[in-house]
Amino acid sequence: MVTPAYSRGVYLNAGGGGTPRAVADSLPVFGAHHNLFFDNQDDSVMQSTHGAEASSLSGDPLFTSAANADFSCRPSRCGCRVPSRGGSGGGWVALLALLGAFGMRRRAGLRSGVLALVSFGAVTSLTGCSGDSGEGGSGAQAGAGAQSSGGTGAQSSGGTGAGATSGGSGGGGATTPGEGLSAAYPGDQGIGTHPSVLFHSDFESGMSGWTSYTQNSSLLAVEQSGSRAHGGSAYLRASITRTQLAQNPYLSAQAQFHLPNRVPEIYWRFYAQYVGKTAVPHHWIRSAATNGTFNPEGQAGKKPGGDQAFWFNLDARNDGSFFFYAYWHEMRSWMCNDGSTDPGCAGYNGPSNNAYYGNNFHPAQQTAFPRDDWFCVEIRGKANTPGQYDGELWFWIDGKLVGEYRTGTPRGRWLRENFFSHGQYYRDEQDFEGFNFRTSAEVGFQRIILDAYYEKGTLDAKESSGIEVPEAQVIWYDDVVLATERVGCKVP
């Protein structure tokens, strides 16, 4: 039996008026895997993604001038190799690895990966990785349980309304708090009545309006405290302890809202607070567009069809910065430097049954988010006009535009599954081409997910690398608004 990557706690799927429709034992994960990320802009280990996944930001052609040289390793692929720089003898010390702590999942249970250190340009093997063909291993379903029993029972079908129209309404640009819809609704009072607003929750009425959410109150609960809430007296608390993870190494505290009718563009704003030294989650915030029938959950390592779905996360790094992690039909593979799966490519690191994991987009010049204080997050997703590359991803922190990915910006270069706009792998090679997220106008935004998904192996690896990880990981949420135009941060 596949171990689901989400909590074994019960999820409630509410219909109209909050009436329970279905209760299930688990909720499967979106396409996801571990992402081990070596980058001189971060604290050497960057965890970015779900399930038992690992993806190194690697395979730089600087290291692959010799044919068939590899630089990337993930738990779905053993025997990874580090190139010898053509045997030049100009030795370079390979990067350390912590994959052993990640505990790769297989149907039979858990198996630790042991990673050898490599040195001075020798071609060196990694041992003890999970097999890439193992069902439910680091590749197969990333432990997400796409076919796990009860995995989809907690989900309403959602998004079965009319197909989304082409393109979007534009918008964007750096703004200050109070610009956007919020400027006309001080304190968010009445903001839910605006025709552009698709959903509003300040948790003053509990979980009213949410489609599904974790039923285990030790993991997720609305709490009352005027001194803690961002506004009013209620806020949503997500908390996962290491004691709980010792019992179930894959836990999620999440709330989902499913749109009754799919739309081509969304803006959603919420407030978050990381309590104390809470570690950043393995995965955080997700948005998904579907054709109304395709289920994007449990699709780890698989590229969706352009007429099926696309989805993306906003995830956090250990250094307090954020990045997008996206799945769509033209996503690039981790197996080759050029993003292909061609066995003859430079830096080939295959074969694998799971050739595609989320593509990474990390904006430059970020300021770490604050601890023990509320901060405002707004995400924009825009579907492309079918046949064009005008899809876009944006996000703002406290009203400041931080990330903007659209046709013509930023500049950088593709390397495997990553578009680098800064850092050690950056090269000034091209303008970003924009996103061709979908081939059919029927694919539109259908759900948003507030999540705090943690893995025992990820936290253990952080601790091994010198990051302090507390017993309880606690994140608060408040003042959620989903709309089809810019919301802006809340006006007092």
Full DSSP string of 337-370: TTS---TTSTT-----S-----EEE--SSPPPPP
Interval 124-139 mean pLDDT: 29
Model confidence at 483: pLDDT above 80: yes
Q: What is d(CA 243, CA 468) in angstroms, rounded to the nearest whole number?
A: 16
Exposure of 243 by Cβ count < 10 A (0-12 exposed, 13-18 middle, 19+ buried)? exposed
Q: What is d(CA 122, CA 87) in angstroms, rounded to the nearest whole number?
A: 8
Model confidence at 92: pLDDT above 70: no
Cβ(236)–Cβ(255) under 8 Å? yes
The listed range with the strongest mean pLDDT (57-66, 115-124, 306-315) is 306-315
Structure confidence by residue, pLDDT tens digits, 160-191: 334 444 443 333 344 455 579 999 999 999 99
Cβ(371)–Cβ(274) under 8 Å? yes
Residues 186-199 as b or e (16 or more Cβ within 10 Å = b): eebeebbebebbbb
Interval 107-136 mean pLDDT: 31
Interval 55-64 mean pLDDT: 34
Domain boundaries, the chain: 159-483
Cβ(269)–Cβ(488) under 8 Å? yes
Residue with tokens 């009436």: 19
Model confidence at 409: pLDDT above 90: yes
Structure confidence by residue, pLDDT tens digits, 181-224: 999 999 999 999 999 999 999 999 999 999 999 999 999 999 99
Q: Which residues fall within 8 angstroms of residue 466, CB to CB, at 6 or more apart?
A: none
pLDDT level of residue 56 (50, 70, 90 thresholds): very low
- ∠ CA 160-12-276, nearest 5°, is 110
Q: What is the mean pLDDT of the chain?
A: 74
pLDDT level of residue 301 (50, 70, 90 thresholds): confident
Residues forming a β-bridge with 445: 263, 289
Cβ(473)–Cβ(364) under 8 Å? no
Closest by CA position to 414, among listed 363, 366, 359, 364? 359
Cβ(416)–Cβ(345) under 8 Å? no
Percentage of the chain lying above the pLDDT 70 cut: 64
- Specify the pLDDT at position 178: 58
Q: What is d(CA 117, CA 97) in angstroms, rounded to the nearest whole number?
A: 7
Structure confidence by residue, pLDDT tens digits, 22-55: 222 223 333 334 333 333 233 323 333 333 333 3
Structure confidence by residue, pLDDT tens digits, 312-347: 999 999 999 999 999 999 999 999 999 999 999 999
- 3-state SS, residue 215: coil
Query: Hey, what are 56's tokens?
Result: 């190194």
- Specify the pLDDT at position 176: 53
pTM (two decimals): 0.71
Domain 159-483 fold is Jelly Rolls (2.60.120)
- ∠ CA 329-129-359, nearest 5°, is 25
Cβ(259)–Cβ(449) under 8 Å? no
End-to-end alpha-carbon separation of the chain, Å? Answer: 51
Q: What is d(CA 179, CA 399) in angstroms, rounded to the nearest whole number?
A: 8
- Specify the pLDDT at position 285: 96
